[in-house]
Structure 1
Amino acid sequence: MKYAISYSTPHCGVDPDAIAAFARHAEACGFEALYVPEHVVLYRGARLGPWEIPTSLPYADPLDTLTFVAAATRRLLLGTAVLLLPYHHPVTLAKRLATIDLLSKGRMRLLTVGVGALPGEARAVGVDFATRGRRADEAIDVLRLLWAGGEEGVSYSGEFFAFEDLCSFPKPVGDAGLPIHVGGSSDAAARRAGRRGEGWFPGGRLDAAQRAAQWELVRSAAAEAGRDPDALDHTRWGTIDMTHERAEELAAAGVTRVVVSPASLDLDEQCEQMSEFAGRFGLTGSGSS
């Protein structure tokens, strides 16, 4: 099992010193990666389930934040949970992601994409909310095509994106482009993960039976697409105070990575909680930055 940490700018703020200290301590503790969330914009009345989102929450741009984190660390992998893919044009996104990966020496490896849940956010960027799933599917294909393309250029013609003979450089580190994990809590997201993703990172408020059914849907969709289900990562949210018994339950359910968040807004307490978690699970790190 791999363990990663999440930094929530909406709740912890966008203080560069705090973000750098948090990231360095996470790296020193031995966490594999740092994840950040995304909302492009908020508006009055926006809700996630029963929760109305305060409009003043500072959702920093996730890719800019991860670039900053990369500069402050040496080993920590960079992740999004989740990047709202339909709200980004894949041609410009391909360049941004490749640049971050290159400048971080190959650490932009836990890109997790979702389709978004706020209709007003889609309207704000000119996206039809009803088509965001199909748009995300095309965007994944376009990203991979551009990363794989050479000096002769590549072409694409789809429902949402079309171009001819485009060349996108620089490339991500290595020859295979960037892994793309799929987040979400719907059956459509599970199928997308199986058909197109390197991994599955479900959210939402689902019970154990629903999560098990969705993981089987991911695996069956992969098999139907001629892909190896056993090659897929399975990431889940955990808690900073989780027990070994809970970790064993997740592993038995096929989970390969757990992402946790500190249960405090105070930096010193966050670092203490990370150190305690690292000690409890034997992560490789000194626990001090």
Structure 2
Amino acid sequence: MKFGISYSTPYFGVDPDKVVAYAQHAEDCGFESLYMPEHIALYRGAKIGPMELPPSLPYGDPLDCLNFVAASTQRILLGTAVLLLPYHHPVVLAKRLATIDVLSKGRMRLLTVGVGALPGEAQAVGVDFSTRGRRADEAIDVMRLLWAGGEDGVSFDGEFFSFDGLYSFPKPYGVAHLPIHVGGSSRAAARRAGRRGNGYFPGGALAPDERRIQIELARATATEAGNSADTLEYTRWGSIDMSTDAVEALAEQGVTRIVVSATTADRDRQRDEMSAFAERFALTR
């Protein structure tokens, strides 16, 4: 089992010293990865399911935050949970991600993308909310094409994006393209993970039966698409006080990575929570 940790900018803030301290202690504790969330813009009445998001929550840009973290750490992998893919132009995004990967010497390896759930956010960036799934699919194809493209350039003609003879350098660090995990809480997300993803990271608010259906759907879709269901990573949210029995139960479901988060913005208590988790699961051994 791999263990990642999330830094929740809307609740912990974007103070640079706190972000660095959190990331460095997570690395010292032996966590595999650090994740950042994204919302580009909020508005009054914005809700994720029943939960209303206060519009003043300070969501830092996750890629800028991860680039900042990379400069202050050595080993910890960098991830998003989730990056709202339809609201980014894939040509620009491919360049940003490859640059972070190069500067971090190959640590931008846990990009998790979603399609977004706030219609007002889509409207704010000029995206038709009803097309966001198709845009995400096409964006994944565009980024992989650009990362793999060589000295002859690459061309693409899709529903949303089109270009001819395009070059995108630098390339990701030592790989043809960066892994892309798919996040979400829908069967459409599970199918997207199987068709185009290297992993599936479903949301936390799913009933056990639906959760089982979705991971089985992701694996079946991977097989149908000619991808390996066995190599599809399965990431789940956990709690920082979870027991070894709870982790073993997730492992029995095929989970390969668990991502937790500190429960407080207090720096000393964050350190204590991370240290206790690391000791409980022997992360530094």
TM-score normalised by structure 2 residue count: 0.99
The amino acid that maps onto 2:125 is V
How much has 1:216 moved relative to structure 2? 0.2
Q: Which residue is equivalent to 2:175?
A: 175
Q: Which residue is equivalent to 1:194?
A: 194
How much has 1:112 moved relative to structure 2? 0.2
Q: Which residue is equivalent to 2:120?
A: 120
What are the superposed Cα offsets for residues 47-72 of structure 1, whole Å, 9 maximum, x if unpaired? 11111110110000000000001011
The secondary structure found in structure 1 opposite 2:17 is: helix
What are the superposed Cα offsets for residues 113-156 of structure 1, whole Å, 9 maximum, x if unpaired? 00000000000000000000000000000000000001111000
Unaligned runs of 5+ in 2: none
Paired with 2:264 and 2:10, the residues of 1 have a C-alpha distance of 13
How much has 1:176 moved relative to structure 2? 2.1
How much has 1:175 moved relative to structure 2? 3.0
Task: Indicate conservation of the 8 Å contact 1:184/1:204, yes or no.
Answer: no
Task: Indicate conservation of the 8 Å contact 2:85/2:113, yes or no.
Answer: yes
After superposing the two structures, state which structure 1 stretch, 44-53 or 119-128, moved more: 44-53
The secondary structure found in structure 1 opposite 2:71 is: helix
Work out whether 1:215 is the aligned partner of 2:180. no
The amino acid that maps onto 1:184 is G
How much has 1:204 moved relative to structure 2? 4.1
Paired with 1:9 and 1:200, the residues of 2 have a C-alpha distance of 23
Paired with 1:206 and 1:169, the residues of 2 have a C-alpha distance of 40
Unaligned runs of 5+ in 1: none
Q: Which residue is equivalent to 1:244?
A: 244
The amino acid that maps onto 2:206 is L
The secondary structure found in structure 2 opposite 1:259 is: strand
Over the aligned positions, Cα root-mean-square deviation in angstroms equals 0.7
Paired with 2:254 and 2:77, the residues of 1 have a C-alpha distance of 22
Q: Which residue is equivalent to 1:14?
A: 14
Task: Indicate conservation of the 8 Å contact 2:233/2:255, yes or no.
Answer: yes
Paired with 1:204 and 1:128, the residues of 2 have a C-alpha distance of 26
Q: Which residue is equivalent to 1:26?
A: 26
The amino acid that maps onto 2:268 is D
The secondary structure found in structure 1 opposite 2:120 is: helix
Q: Which residue is equivalent to 1:40?
A: 40
The amino acid that maps onto 2:233 is D
Q: Which residue is equivalent to 2:277?
A: 277
Task: Indicate conservation of the 8 Å contact 1:244/1:281, yes or no.
Answer: yes
What are the equivalent positions in structure 2 for 1:67-216 lying under 5 Å apart?
67-216=67-216
Q: Which residue is equivalent to 1:51?
A: 51
Overall identity of the aligned pairs, in %:
71
Task: Indicate conservation of the 8 Å contact 2:204/2:237, yes or no.
Answer: no
Count, aligned residues: 285
How much has 1:205 moved relative to structure 2? 1.1
How much has 1:208 moved relative to structure 2? 1.3
TM-score normalised by structure 1 residue count: 0.98
Paired with 1:149 and 1:211, the residues of 2 have a C-alpha distance of 37
The amino acid that maps onto 2:21 is A
What are the superposed Cα offsets for residues 76-114 of structure 1, whole Å, 9 maximum, x if unpaired? 100000000000000000000000000000000000000
Paired with 1:209 and 1:50, the residues of 2 have a C-alpha distance of 21
Paired with 1:231 and 1:30, the residues of 2 have a C-alpha distance of 23
Paired with 2:274 and 2:20, the residues of 1 have a C-alpha distance of 15
